[in-house]
Amino acid sequence: MRPAVIAHRGASFDYPEHTYDAYVAAIQDGADGFECDVRLTADDVLVCWHDSDLARTSDGVGTISKMTWAELSGVDAGTWHRSGRTAKPLLFTDLLELALESGKTLSIETKHPVKSGGRIEHMLADLLAPHLPLVPIAPAAAQFRMMSFSKLAVMRWRKLVPSVPAVSLIERTYSFKGGGPVLGPGIHLIRKDPSLVARIHAEGREVHVWTVDEREDIELCLELGVDAIITNKPAAVVAVIGG
């Protein structure tokens, strides 16, 4: 079975990341699911945004956690991108609605450390609650997944929402032990040690690899039998692995 293709912040090579158009493009590109980062504004609104501040991906200035949604919604989150497209910041609830309407999976990364601490997982759980299964299901069958580099956040989520699989993101092999039913190693780890995939599978866990954009890396993931490829270029991945 071919790996799932997960659009990293949407089709973010061609469109500004974390914008509505980027996720619509991911659907058109044949992605199986979406990936997003979430942060809380000062007035506790969950938004799709990677960095802690606005500098890299908008025309604004400020820190997400110190801004209200009304303030954040006024910035241009698009023209920084080489495409030159204007775009508005994206509410998580709008992305959730798009995922539900399109039937796409949604992998949601909570960012840490943040001043709100574990409140972000609690708010995410509340928003997902009406759409969740009553009992835990296999990661491959789940529409939603929580992701984090924070072991504490993953542990918190597994207690809070056991029906939604947690993905333990890893940058270094020494952080391989523990975590949820899915491990998310960076492609740099897979290049360095391809046997990592088989070792994770031997523990009965899935392997979701980030961020895979180059053809040789796509082919390596396909050869090793990873379960999901997280990519900025969903169309390119689909072209290699098939629809």
- In our burial notation (b when 16+ CB lie closer than 10 A, e otherwise), range 120-158 reads bbebbbeebeeeeeeeeeebeebbbbbbbbbbebbbbbb
Residue 50 known to be catalytic: yes
Q: Which residues pair with residue 184 across a beta bridge? A: 169
Q: How far is CA 155 from CA 162, 190, 237, in A?
A: 10, 25, 32
Catalytic residue among 18, 50, 81, 208: 50
Contact at 8 Å (CB) between 54 and 62?
yes
Q: Which of 113, 99, 119 is nearest to 45 (CA)?
A: 119
The radius of gyration computed from the CA coordinates of the chain, to the nearest angstrom, equals 17
Structure tokens at 171: 């940058």
Active-site residues: which are they?
A: 8, 50
